[in-house]
Amino acid sequence: MKPDKPTIKKLYALSNEGHKFSFTLPLKNIIKVNGREYSVELREDEKYGVHVLWKNRRYPVEIVRTKQNRYEILFNDIGHIFTVETPVSMQRRKVLGTGKAKSTTLVVRAPMPGKIIDVLVRENSEVMRGEALVILEAMKMQNEIQSVVSGTVTRIGVKTGQNVMKDDILAEITVK
Amino acid sequence: MKTARQMDIKCVAVRTSAEPDAMYLSMADIIHEVDDEAAEIPVFLDIERLIAIALETKCDALHPGYGFLAENAYFAEKCHDNRITFIGPSPDAIYKMGNKPVARQIALKHKIPMATGSHGSVANEDEALLHASRIGYPVIIKAASGGGGRGMRIVRQESEMEKMFILASREAEKAFNDPSVFIEKYIENPKHIEFQVLGDMHGNIIHLGERECSIQRKHQKLLEEAPSPALDEQLRKTMGETAVRIARAVGYYSAGTVEFLLDSDRNFYFMEMNTRIQVEHPVTEMITGIDLIEQQIRIASGEPLALKQEDIKLSGWAIECRINAEDVQAGFAPSPGRIEKISFPEEPGVRVDTGVRAGSSIVASYDSMIAKLIVTGADRRQAVKNTKMALDKVWIKGTKTTLPFFRMLMRNHIFQEGTFTTSFIEKELEKYHASSEYEETIAAWLATKLFIEENLSEKKNNISFDQGRELTPWLLRKRLTQF
């Protein structure tokens, strides 16, 4: 992040699904949906913890994790991931052409901590969408971790018998 | 324990080091401390130790619940040997129904409709291939001692057999200490319908209607309801009588569940019998008005059933949502954590069974259930509507839960119509959760707010909000648990 610029007038929140939201600074307790304005409030109390008050109803809020300008927020029990950009960083992003289009390699991560029971593919092997890559045992269940894309396995990050943490890289698949 | 207290029975509970503040302890009359720091196997799986504790605390009877040792014939046997009443069926019935090939043979002998399959266990892949070509693909490999969806694999073609056979067998060995498996014709897109039966030691057996358990993922039930939208009076009668016949074949007493698959032509096939009380038993209690645990205790003490088949009247509709600590967006991956806040609606027609309160930890070594939310209504439409409202009033902070899945499910038209099958979640649902444009916008607003606090604010971590309160990201993050 660049040092504070008092002149920032706008911020953009880009969702993982590619949706773009813009907010004018200073940030008001207002959101705009389909041209209509609604007031929202962030609150905290003993009974409910941190929550948002919107249309006379409370919704639970959690920050799951933050990493630089990337935020994972749990709102009403559903996770949302946003990167927040200033007009300057937004411009740079456009120039660099970062984002989804650039990446043709899919990183498969462990969805939960557990133990690798079996590795079913080798490096350089072709996999189809839905094909099992590894068997991960967690909570007494053996789970097949499947590829969500068709492509070539360019890297395998684990060995049979190895214990993994959540988000450890299991494999990388380059999309055809 | 709640039922036992109402019956003036004193309860002993065991405190373990994994859950020293567990809520079940608050309902017990006597808490027995165990020192399990050095234990090689969890106390709740240690038969000798549990028996010793029961003897030491002079228990007359022992209720095995619905996990751990509830379907262990040896455990039931040991209880009998030590003159402790096992609140459940006879060890013989547990053994016969627990071993699936044996259960199949008994069912076959009593002309119970079943999917064609191997008679007995299948030794290896080659034998499995032979059976499969006789039965016809797709077939399903199941653990002989299995249950709960573990050790099961569907095989659609010959080439998959070797891999699936090994997977199923290995999973079976891990989960049930028994690698043996058998093979059955796989019924495509069935409904999972199960019947609650109740028998006494004097040969009386009745059924309490069915439960619809087709909302499942990877053979794990997520939602159950009673009755089933797929059954009419006639089919209920036929299937119920079949369930009673199976129970009678093994001289069953106590509460038990006979599971069937129902295909799209309304043919039904016996799948297995669970010789214990089940997680989903409350939906039956809600529509019959019968306390199943009370019945189990009465039966175990030798009382004859006071109820006759004609006394069983189903009234209204009940839906149970299993609220688990699972990350719906990560494919229902377990999401252990510490429950920071938890509250449920308290209103007529809503029952909550939970062993968790604020401060409780959902530990990875047990299962991920937080609570069962059971909601009733005069008919199915009303029950769905009431469930939708009740779900919105459930408040859980500290861990991800399956709540978004149920909120979405209640709004799904296939669910509302009741025509779903066991493949509904995997095949017909594109997303396991739904978020409105409003919700996404609010989340974006929150992310932006955080960004400002972290990067643009003059005094970091010291932001005041409208109500004059000071609320910083750190305060927010304090509420977090490890994901």
- Show me where the domains of chain A are located: 10-99, 103-175
Residue to test with chain A: of B150, B388, B455, most A Cβ within 10 A? B455
| Nearest neighbour of B469 by CB, restricted to A44, A80, A138 | A44
Residue to test with chain A: of B446, B467, B478, most A Cβ within 10 A? B446
Taking an 8 Å cut-off on Cβ atoms, the answer to whether A71 and B447 are in contact is yes
- The whole-number pLDDT of residue A111 equals 83
The active-site residue out of B150, B153, B211, B276 is B276
* Token code pair at residue A3: 């040092």
- The whole-number pLDDT of residue A106 equals 82
pLDDT at position B466 over 50: no
pTM of the shown model: 0.81
Chain A, chain B: beta-carbon pairs less than 8 Å apart: 176
| Nearest neighbour of A49 by CB, restricted to B334, B451, B479 | B479
Taking an 8 Å cut-off on Cβ atoms, the answer to whether A77 and B403 are in contact is yes
Find the closest chain B residue to A144 by CA distance.
B167
- The whole-number pLDDT of residue B357 equals 86
Task: For residue A13, give Cα distances in angstroms to A60, A82, B299.
Answer: 20, 6, 62
Taking an 8 Å cut-off on Cβ atoms, the answer to whether B444 and A15 are in contact is yes
Pick the CATH number of B191-428 from 3.30.70.20, 2.40.128.20, 3.40.50.10810, 3.30.470.20: 3.30.470.20
Active-site annotation holds for B477 = no
Mean pLDDT of all residues belonging to chain B: 88
Tell me the average pLDDT across B91-116: 92
- Top-ranked range on mean pLDDT: pick from B159-163, B267-271, B326-330: B267-271
Look at the domain B116-185 and name its fold: Dna Ligase; domain 1 (3.30.1490)
Q: Does the structure's ipTM exceed the value 0.90?
A: no
| Nearest neighbour of A23 by CB, restricted to B392, B403, B445 | B445
Tell me the average pLDDT across B293-309: 95
Residue B468 pLDDT level (bands cut at 50, 70, 90): very low
Taking the CA of residue A102 and the nearest CA in chain B, the distance in Å comes to 24
Find the closest chain B residue to A38 by CA distance.
B438
CA-based nearest residue to B255, from B210, B213, B223, B208: B208
pLDDT tens readout for residues B186-199: 998 899 999 999 99
Residue A76 CB neighbours (<10 A): 24
Q: DSSP string covering A94-110, please?
A: HHHT-SGGG--EEEEE-
Tell me the average pLDDT across A82-89: 90
Residue A127 pLDDT level (bands cut at 50, 70, 90): confident
Taking an 8 Å cut-off on Cβ atoms, the answer to whether A21 and B330 are in contact is no
The pairing of beta strand B30-33 with beta strand B12-15: parallel
CATH number at A103-175? 2.40.50.100
For chain B, the three-class secondary structure string (H helix, E strand, C coil) is CHHHHHCCCCCEEEECCCCCCCHHHHHCCEEEECCCCCCCCCHHHCHHHHHHHHHHCCCCEECCCCCCCCCCHHHHHHHHHCCCEECCCCHHHHHHHHCHHHHHHHHHHCCCCECCECCCCECCHHHHHHHHHHHCCCEEEEECCCECCECCEEECCHHHHHHHHHHHHHHHHHHHCCCCEEEEECCCCCEEEEEEEEECCCCCEEEEEEEEEEEEECCEEEEEEECCCCCCHHHHHHHHHHHHHHHHHCCCCEEEEEEEEECCCCCEEEEEEECCCCCCHHHHHHHHCCCHHHHHHHHHCCCCCCCCHHHCCCCCEEEEEEEECEEHHHCCEECCEECCEEECCCCCCEEEEECCCCCCEECCCCCCEEEEEEEEECCHHHHHHHHHHHHHCCEEECCCCCHHHHHHHCCCHHHHHCCCCCCHHHHHCCCCCCCCHHHHHHHHHHHHHHHHHHHHCCCCCCCECCCCCECCHHHHHHCCCCC
Taking the CA of residue A4 and the nearest CA in chain B, the distance in Å comes to 6
- The whole-number pLDDT of residue B218 equals 81
Find the closest chain B residue to A50 by CA distance.
B476
Taking an 8 Å cut-off on Cβ atoms, the answer to whether B444 and A13 are in contact is yes
Residues of B in contact with A58 (CB under 8 A): 395
| Nearest neighbour of B447 by CB, restricted to A41, A84, A140 | A84
- The whole-number pLDDT of residue B479 equals 43
Tell me the average pLDDT across B149-170: 87
Taking an 8 Å cut-off on Cβ atoms, the answer to whether B395 and A73 are in contact is no
What is the C-alpha separation between A110 and B403, in angstroms, rounded?
Answer: 23
Taking the CA of residue A176 and the nearest CA in chain B, the distance in Å comes to 24
- Show me where the domains of chain B are located: 116-185, 191-428, 437-478
| Nearest neighbour of A1 by CB, restricted to B171, B401, B455 | B455
- The whole-number pLDDT of residue B456 equals 77
Mean pLDDT of all residues belonging to chain A: 85
Q: Which of B50-64, B200-214, B457-471 has the lowest mean pLDDT?
A: B457-471
